[in-house]
Amino acid sequence: MIQSSKNLSVLIVIPARYASTRLPAKPLADIHGKPMIQWVYERAMQVQGGSDVLVATVVATDDDRIVKAVEAFGGRAILTSADLQSGTDRVAAVADQIPADIYVNLQGDEPLIAPETIEKAIDLVKSGDFSIGTVMTRLKSSVELHDPSVVKVIADRNQRAIYFSRHPIPYSRGPEPGSEGPFACLRHVGLYVYRREALLQFRSLAPSSLEKGEMLEQLRALSEGFPIGIVEVDFTSIGVDTPEDLDLVRKILV
């Protein structure tokens, strides 16, 4: 339990599944002598919430091997059901056991995540303006723009997400948008922050038709009218999904 009568409590939850089609046992993949999940955990532990915020971190996994690996480096892990369908479901399962005001869903395959990126997403929800917060960054190339695995997002001037898509958005009738200027396309970084009540309500909702079509669970929230706050960050996400991604991260972290 991390609740406090004085401080706002934030729990960073790192969902980590053992099974992976393209990279089996991904959370335990070795990166310079440490499992990948340890790199993510250590980044999360650097998050500063402010003098009025109490921050804690936990791994939510479906496998005892990951629990043992986390405990071996001094971290905390909780075993959750293997039947859970998404990272958000795993975070909600942790919320059933550990009360907090705010929960962060930090993917376990982001060993390069910047603590400042997590802090900016927390600030959106901490402010009280949004019950769900996330982040975006500039697209770096035309290849990213047309890659369906790279999720694009558009937002209004009040830091509210309008739509997420695997297609290039917004559409341009003129020159293809680049990474600079007023018509720069933005990439969604898959990091979510929830107020407790929003997280538990989100779990109870059925997937929307938009979510099923795009295979993006954040569209469930938009379909139900949840405002999602989103802030731009200077961070290039490299999620580890393949052996090639893993090799690239190893080179960066040398």
SS3 97: coil
1-112 placed in CATH 2.60.20.30: no
**pLDDT tens string 66-75:** 999 999 999 9
The length of the chain in residues reads: 254
| Contact in structure between 113 and 40 (CB atoms under 8 Å) | yes
Reported as a pLDDT band with limits 50, 70 and 90, residue 1 is very low
SS3 182: coil
Question: Tell me, what's the pLDDT at 6?
Answer: 63
**pLDDT tens string 171-180:** 887 777 765 6
Position with higher pLDDT, 28 vs 176: 28
Question: Tell me, what's the pLDDT at 107?
Answer: 93
86, amino acid identity: S
Mean residue pLDDT of the chain comes to: 91
| Contact in structure between 231 and 136 (CB atoms under 8 Å) | yes
Rounded Cα distance between 70 and 64, Å, is 10
Query: Which residues have C-beta within 8 Å of that of residue 158, sequence separation ≥ 6?
Result: none
Rounded Cα distance between 46 and 35, Å, is 18
Question: Tell me, what's the pLDDT at 179?
Answer: 58
